[in-house]
């Protein structure tokens, strides 16, 4: 009986030790992953830097120019389990604002692939409801403000951050990654860019990073032909720009909330599950290629 008691006690001690180790492991995991779910964060858009000419003129006149300030913004931060550092994706919404697929579906998808995600809300702090019929703020600076914010997070590898935009957010994505654009004024740079149905401009010329453009051939809001013209003007020195055009597809084709389809300002917005699936696979491959170690 005494031998059985000793064995039971030894077994009980081992079980207790295993239990305590498990508790310690889970506590450490929880402590290191407090931002796993969407977290509302606050930061500023990148300030417009003073040009050397303005600084020189001010000095000649004995004046001191005030340092430019950014615009207060908010965003939604999501991250994978673990301490990282992880690659990341900054997301810019379209003119309708924070729709479900951008605020919820895309972040969950990107996090499952191993990326930190920061969805930039460009409208709330500016008291903007909808800009589809009005002037848009210069959101290139919002994107770089988000990049500056991520540079201060220990769980982000700032060398591996992509910019991803939808509609007008995609147009800002192309604007923010064009050669001789505002990108050259920024302290931190994006590694790659993804643009869902942007309004391309042939005059943008070369890019500063590899770009993936995804659009539909029936999208008369963001015509694919404009993107073709830009690609035709690229020099041999430009980073690659991949253009995927999906047949029979309209604007917002990746957004399940538009399954029924709708007409906005004379343009059709409609979900296309086949095109959406193909585009998601292309995004996955693109990010893995350009944000890998």
Give me the pLDDT at residue 128, please.
Answer: 85
55-64, 178-187, 244-253: which has the minimum mean pLDDT? 55-64
Residues 117/92, Cβ–Cβ less than 8 Å: no
End-to-end CA distance of the chain: 60
Q: Which of 5-19, 150-164, 197-211 has the highest mean pLDDT?
A: 150-164
Give me the pLDDT at residue 185, please.
Answer: 83
Q: How confident is the model at residue 109 (pLDDT cuts 50, 70, 90)?
A: very high
C-alpha–C-alpha distance, residues 279 and 225, integer Å: 18
**pLDDT by residue (tens digit) across 206-250?**
999 999 999 999 999 899 999 999 999 999 999 999 999 999 999
Parallel/antiparallel/unpaired status of strands 262-264 and 267-269: antiparallel
Structure token digits, residue 119: 């969805």
Q: How confident is the model at residue 52 (pLDDT cuts 50, 70, 90)?
A: low
Torsion over CA: 52, 56, 59, 64 (sign): negative
Mean pLDDT of the region 195-200: 97
Q: How confident is the model at residue 17 (pLDDT cuts 50, 70, 90)?
A: very low
Residues 89/116, Cβ–Cβ less than 8 Å: yes
Residues 252/197, Cβ–Cβ less than 8 Å: yes
DSSP the chain: -HHHHHHHHHHHHHHHHHHHHHHHHHHHHHHTTTTSS-EEEEEEPPP-PPPHHHHHHHHHTT--PPPP-PPEEEEEEE--SSS--EEEEEEE-BTTBS-HIIIIIHHHHHHHTT-EEEEEE-SGGGT-S--TTSPPP-THHHHHHHHHHHHT-TTEEEEEEEEEEETHHHHHHHHTTBTTSGGGG-SS--SEEEEES----GGG-SBSS-EEEEEETT-SSS-HHHHHHHHHT--TTSPPEEEEEETT--BTTT-GGGSS-EEETTEEE---HHHHHHHHHHHHHHHHHHS--
Give me the pLDDT at residue 267, please.
Answer: 86
Residues 207/233, Cβ–Cβ less than 8 Å: no
Which residues is 213 bridged to in the sheet?
A: 195, 243
Q: How confident is the model at residue 4 (pLDDT cuts 50, 70, 90)?
A: very low
Rg (CA), the chain: 24
Give me the pLDDT at residue 287, please.
Answer: 98
pLDDT at 9 over 50: no
Phi, psi dihedral angles at 125 (to 5 degrees): -70, -15
pLDDT at 37 over 70: no
Give me the pLDDT at residue 65, please.
Answer: 54
49-58, 99-108, 216-225, 273-282: which has the minimum mean pLDDT? 49-58
Q: How many residues are given for the chain?
A: 293
74-78, 166-170, 183-187, 213-217: which has the minimum mean pLDDT? 183-187
Mean pLDDT, the chain, integer? 84
The Cβ of residue 50 has, within 10 Å, a number of other Cβ atoms equal to 13
Task: State the pTM of this model.
Answer: 0.82
């Amino acid at each position: 009986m005494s031998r059985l008691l000793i064995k039971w006690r030894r077994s009980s001690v081992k079980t207790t030790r295993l239990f305590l180790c498990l508790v310690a492991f889970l506590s450490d995991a929880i402590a290191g992953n407090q931002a796993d779910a969407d977290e509302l964060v606050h930061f500023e858009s990148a300030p417009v830097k003073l040009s050397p000419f303005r600084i020189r003129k001010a000095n000649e006149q004995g004046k001191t120019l005030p340092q430019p300030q950014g615009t207060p913004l908010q965003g939604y931060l999501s991250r994978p389990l673990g301490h990282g550092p992880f690659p990341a994706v900054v997301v810019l919404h379209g003119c309708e604002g924070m729709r479900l697929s951008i605020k919820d579906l895309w972040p969950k998808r990107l996090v499952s692939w191993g990326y930190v995600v920061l969805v930039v809300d460009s409208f709330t702090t500016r008291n903007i409801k909808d800009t589809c019929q009005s002037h848009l703020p210069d959101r290139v600076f919002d994107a770089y403000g988000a990049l500056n914010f991520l540079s201060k997070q220990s769980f982000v590898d700032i060398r591996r951050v992509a910019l991803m935009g939808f509609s007008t957010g995609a147009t800002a994505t192309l604007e923010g990654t064009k050669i001789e654009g505002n990108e050259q004024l920024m302290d931190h740079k994006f590694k790659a860019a993804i643009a869902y149905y942007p309004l391309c401009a042939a005059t943008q010329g070369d890019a500063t990073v590899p770009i993936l453009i995804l659009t539909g051939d029936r999208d008369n809001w963001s015509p694919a032909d404009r993107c073709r013209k830009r690609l035709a003007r690229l020099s041999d020195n430009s980073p690659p720009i991949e253009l995927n055009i999906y047949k029979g597809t309209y604007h917002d084709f990746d957004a399940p909330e538009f399954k029924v389809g709708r007409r906005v300002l004379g343009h059709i917005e409609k979900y296309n599950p086949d095109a959406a699936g193909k585009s998601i696979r292309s995004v996955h491959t693109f990010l893995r290629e350009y944000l890998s170690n």
